A and B are shown apart, each in its own frame.
Chain A
């Protein structure tokens, strides 16, 4: 069964450093997303990406964040100058078309120290 894969599973970084979280969506999917989940809280939308550009982003997704699909398979989330409050699980998701389920990866646990 096709799945969304994310690497690394756990990333520890020092405050102020840049991190890149990587995702490989399902190959024939067209829409890609990043979500985050702070421990014990709900899953929060960050950004959606379609046709090689951001289609929607939340208030959380400020200038500190950027996304890229550099090679047609990987979908990355870059967080510049990380802050302690960026510590969370980050989930990548992909969707084949509109009104279909989003498939989620297993997440990357980001810990900023």
Chain B
């Protein structure tokens, strides 16, 4: 039969709290990762990237952590705001240009 509705993991946080969104990847050859934010009806929007020779990278209110040992990536958003509500995807690349996306997490910020 037909499936409707979101198949994505969801995360709800109170406004002002910190959010942590996780992503696992399977290809150990992946050497470049990006977190994208996707609002309803729009294309993915770049948030922050990290290369495999780094463990951590910080941006404005966002931090990405990379654990290559367990092939895990996380995105931390500090002081989450209502405008942060969106679907967040991690994407990895092992060829330097093509990206494969994770399943995404739907973040809802509760005012």
Interface residues of A (CB under 8 A from B): 4, 31, 33, 35, 40-45, 48, 50, 55-56, 91, 93, 95, 98-99, 101-107
Across the interface, A106 reaches (CB within 8 A) one of B7, B42, B93, B100, namely B42
Q: Does residue B56 face the partner (Cβ distance < 8 Å to A)?
A: no
A58 to B105, CA, bound (A): 23
Beta-carbon contact of A103 and B46 below 8 Å: yes
Beta-carbon contact of B104 and A42 below 8 Å: yes
Interface residue SS majority, chain B: loop
Which range contains the number of B residues in contact with the other chain? 20 to 34
- The A-contacting residues of B in range 27-60, CB under 8 angstroms, are 31-32, 34, 36, 38, 41-46, 49, 51
Residues of chain A within 8 A (CB-CB) of B101 are: 35, 42-45
A44 to B100, CA, bound (A): 7
A57 to B32, CA, bound (A): 19
Residues of chain B within 8 A (CB-CB) of A56 are: 95, 98
Across the interface, B97 reaches (CB within 8 A) one of A4, A31, A41, A105, namely A31
Listed from nearest, the 8 A-B pairs whose CB atoms lie closest are A98-B96, A104-B43, A43-B101, A40-B6, A42-B103, A101-B46, A31-B97, A104-B44
Given A45-B100, A99-B51, answer yes or no on A40-B43 (Cβ-Cβ < 8 Å). no
Beta-carbon contact of B93 and A107 below 8 Å: no
Residues of chain B within 8 A (CB-CB) of A104 are: 36, 43-45
Q: Does residue B25 face the partner (Cβ distance < 8 Å to A)?
A: no
B104's nearest neighbour on chain A, judged by CB, is A42
Residues of chain B within 8 A (CB-CB) of A35 are: 101
Given A101-B49, A103-B46, answer yes or no on A40-B8 (Cβ-Cβ < 8 Å). yes
Q: 23 A–B contact pairs at CB < 8 A?
A: A4-B43, A33-B98, A40-B5, A40-B6, A40-B7, A40-B8, A42-B89, A43-B89, A44-B101, A55-B98, A56-B95, A93-B99, A95-B97, A99-B31, A99-B32, A99-B93, A99-B96, A101-B46, A102-B34, A102-B46, A104-B44, A107-B41, A107-B42
